Amino acid sequence: PHRKVNSICCIGAGYVGGPTCAVIAAANPHINVQIVDVNQSRIDAWNSDVLPIYEPGLAETVAKSRNRNLFFSTNVSQAIEEADLIFVSVNTPTKKSGMGRGFAADLGYVEAATRQIAKIAKSDKIVVEKSTVPCRTAQSIRLILEANSRSGVHFDILSNPEFLAEGTAIQDLMHPDRVLIGSQDTVAGFSACASLAEVYSAWVPRDKIITMNVWSSELSKLAANAMLAQRISSINALSAICEATGADVDEVAHAVGLDSRIGPKFLKSSVGFGGSCFRKDILNLVYLSESLNLPEVAAYWRQVVEMNEYQKFRFARKVLHSLFDTMSNKRIAVFGFAFKKDTGDTRESAAITLVQSFAEEMASVAIYDPKVEERQVWLELTSNDTDIEAKVKERVTICNSALEAAGGADAIVIATEWDEFKDTNLNYADVYRVMNKPAFIFDGRSILNAGVITDIGFKLHTIGKGTEGRFE
C-alpha cells in the first residue's frame, strides 16, 4: 500500500524543475503542483507570457495548467508545508574554490534546501533528489533531515534523476526512454517509490518506470552523461584523423553507427560539446574516482573532457592558419552562440572559447544567434568584470542577422547548427557578396552542402572532412 500524492512542491524553477513539473501538472490535473524559487524575477517570468527559458512546447504545456493546478511562487516555506512530495531541483555548480575545486559539485544549494525542508515540515514528506548530484548525496540529505526534523515527522528520500536534453525537453519528458527511481531497500522506501511511480504512470508506460537502489540510480545519471559525452569525444578524435587523411567523418559515423551494437545516435562530429551537464558531470565522476583512490579510472574519464578542449583548440587553430596566420583587422562572423540549436542556453558553449580565441588574435568578432539574448553573450564573455568588459566590447559586436554579421567579414564560423544557417534556408550567394575575398566558411557543425557553397566561390572547411581537392 502506498500513499497517493496530492500535492507536489518543486524547489528550483530552472531548466530541470520548471519543464518537469509543468509536464507532471499537465498529466495529473488532480495534483496541486507548486514550483518555488528564491529568484523573484525568475518566478515573475514563469508567471508571465515570456517564460524564463525557451523550449519548444513549453509555453503551451505551462498554459494548460498554470493557475489551475500549477503555481509559481517564491513562497518556499508554504509550498514545503503543503506538499506530500518535494522535488529538490536546485543548481549544483562546480566548486570554484577549496577541495575539489574545478571538479567537485558544490552541494551548498542542495543542503540549504534540505535544511529548509527539515525546518518547515510538520508532516511526513517524500523528498526526491532531482538535481544531478554526486553518488551518496541521498545519504547526506537523509542525515540532515533526520538530525533537524520535528519529532514524529518521517522522511523518505528518493533519487529520480532527469534525463531530458535542452531544446527537446518537453518531447523527452512526454516520451522518456525510461524514468529512473532509486529508493531505500525498506518497506517505507518501496512505498515512497510506488507513490512517485504513480505520478509518472499518468503518462509514462509502466514498463519504462524502473526502480533500483539509490546509489545505482545516482551513479546511472553520471554514467549516462559520461558515456554520451564519450561518444562525442570519440567521433571528434576520429574527425581529426579524417581531416588529415581525406576521410569523411559523417561517412565513417554512418558506417560505424549501422552496427546495431553501436547505434547511430550521438555520433555527430562537432566543434565540441557544451551544455551545463557533460563537462560538469564527467569532472564529478573524475573527482569521485579520485576520492575512491581509483586514479586510472579518473584518468580515463578526464580524457573525454581533454579531447573536447583539444577539439575547440584544433578548430580555432585551423581558422587562424587558413586566414594566413593573422586575424588582426579581420572580421570574423560567428554564426550561433548557444551550445546547440533550439535553445537560448549558452552554458559551456564551444562558441565562447572560439570567440575568446579570435578576440585574442585581435580579430573583430561579429556574433549572431537567433535565440541567445544580448546580455547573456556579454555575461559569458566578460563574467561581469568591468575591466574585461571594456576590452571585449572593443573587439566583439552582436548582430541581428547572419547577413549583418557577415558584412565585411573575411570568414564565417558556424558554431551552432541552427536550421536557419543551412544553405537551404540562408541565401549564401547574398552572404558571399557582402564579404571580403577570399571568403572563408568554417563549418563547425557540418551542416552545409559543400558543392553549393564552393560553387558560390567560398573557401570551405568542414569539421571532419578531408580538405583534399578543396583548398589548402
221 is in an annotated binding site: yes
Q: How far is the CB of 463 from ligand UDX (least distance, A)?
A: 10
Contacts of 182 (CB under 8 A, 6+ apart): 138, 158, 159, 160, 211, 212, 213, 214, 215, 216, 217, 218
Residue whose Cβ sits closest to ligand UDX: 275
Q: In this structure, which amino acid lies at residue 7? A: S
Stretch that binds ligand UDX, among 162-170, 175-183, 360-368, 383-391 (CB under 6 A): 162-170
User: Is 347 marked within a binding site?
Assistant: yes
- The single residue of 9, 10, 21, 277 carrying the catalytic annotation is 277
Least distance in Å: CB of 445 to ligand UDX? 8
When CB distances are held under 5 to 8 angstroms depending on the partner's kind, the choice from ligand ADP, ligand UDX, none that residue 338 binds is none
Judge contact between 132 and 20, C-beta under 8 A. Answer: no
Q: Is 73 in the site for ligand ADP (CB under 6 A)?
A: no
Q: Phi/psi zone of residue 293: left (φ > 0), alpha (ψ -120 to 50 degrees), beta?
A: left
Residue among 250, 255, 254, 246 at smallest CA distance from 236: 250
228, 332, 396, 409: residue in contact with ligand UDX (rule CB under 6 A): 228
CB of 118 to ligand ADP, least distance (A): 12
164: partner contacted, choices ligand ADP, ligand UDX, none (Cβ within 5-8 A by kind): ligand UDX
Residue 278 beta carbon to ligand ADP: minimum distance, rounded to whole angstroms:
13
Residues in contact with ligand UDX, total (CB under 6 A)?
Answer: 19
Contact residue for ligand ADP among 2, 29, 38, 356 (CB under 6 A) = 38
Could you say which of 10, 14, 121, 331 contacts ligand ADP (CB under 6 A)? 14
Q: What is the spatial distance between Cα 11 and Cα 27, in angstroms, rounded to a whole number?
A: 20
273 is known to lie in a ligand binding site: yes
18 binds ligand UDX (CB under 6 A): no
Backbone angles phi, psi at 42, to 5 degrees: -65, -45
Q: Choose the one of ligand ADP, ligand UDX, none that binds residue 286, judging by a C-beta under 5 to 8 angstroms depending on kind.
A: none
Does 159 interact with ligand UDX (rule: CB under 6 A)?
no
Does 109 sit near ligand ADP (CB under 6 A)?
yes
Quick one: which of 274, 344, 444, 464 contacts ligand UDX (CB under 6 A)? Answer: 274
Q: Among ligand UDX, ligand ADP, none, what does residue 113 contact (CB within 5–8 Å per kind)?
A: ligand ADP
- Please choose which of ligand ADP, ligand UDX, none residue 163 contacts, taking the beta carbon within 5 to 8 angstroms, the exact cut-off set by kind: ligand UDX
**CA gap 284, 238 in Å, rounded:** 26
Q: In a 10 Å sphere around its CB, with 0-12 CB exposed, 13-18 middle and 19+ buried, how is residue 276 labelled?
A: buried
Total residues interacting with ligand ADP, rule: CB under 6 A: 21
Partner whose binding site includes residue 83, from ligand ADP, ligand UDX, none (CB under 5 to 8 Å by kind): none
Q: Is 15 annotated as a binding residue?
A: yes
Nearer to ligand ADP, 16 or 158 (CB): 16
Determine if 275 is a binding residue for ligand UDX (CB under 6 A): yes
User: Residues 38, 153, 165, 194: which binds ligand UDX (CB under 6 A)?
Assistant: 165
Select 267 or 359, whichever has its Cβ closest to ligand UDX: 267
- Clarify whether 399 is annotated catalytic: no
Span interacting with ligand UDX, options 113-121, 157-165, 192-200, 351-359, rule CB under 6 A:
157-165
For residue 308, state whether it binds ligand ADP (rule: CB under 6 A): no
User: Does residue 249 contact residue 465 with C-beta atoms inside 8 Å?
Assistant: yes
Is 14 annotated in a binding site? The answer is yes
Residue 223 annotated in ligand binding: yes
Q: Which does 131 bind (CB under 5 to 8 A by kind): ligand UDX, ligand ADP, none?
A: ligand ADP
- Which one of residues 75, 112, 246, 254 is an interface residue with ligand ADP (CB under 6 A)? 112
Measured between alpha carbons, how far is residue 428 from residues 411, 437, 444 in Å?
A: 13, 14, 16
**Type of residue numbered 8:** I
Bridge partners, 331 (sequence order): 364
- Check residue 217 for interaction with ligand UDX (CB under 6 A): no
Q: Which three cell numbers stand for residue 138?
A: 541521498
Binding-site ranges for ligand ADP (CB under 6 A): 11-17, 36-39, 42, 76, 89-91, 109, 112-113, 131, 276
Q: Which residues are annotated as a binding site for NAD(+)?
A: 12-17, 37, 42, 90-94, 131-132, 166, 277-280, 347
Instruction: Name the residues annotated as catalytic.
Output: 277
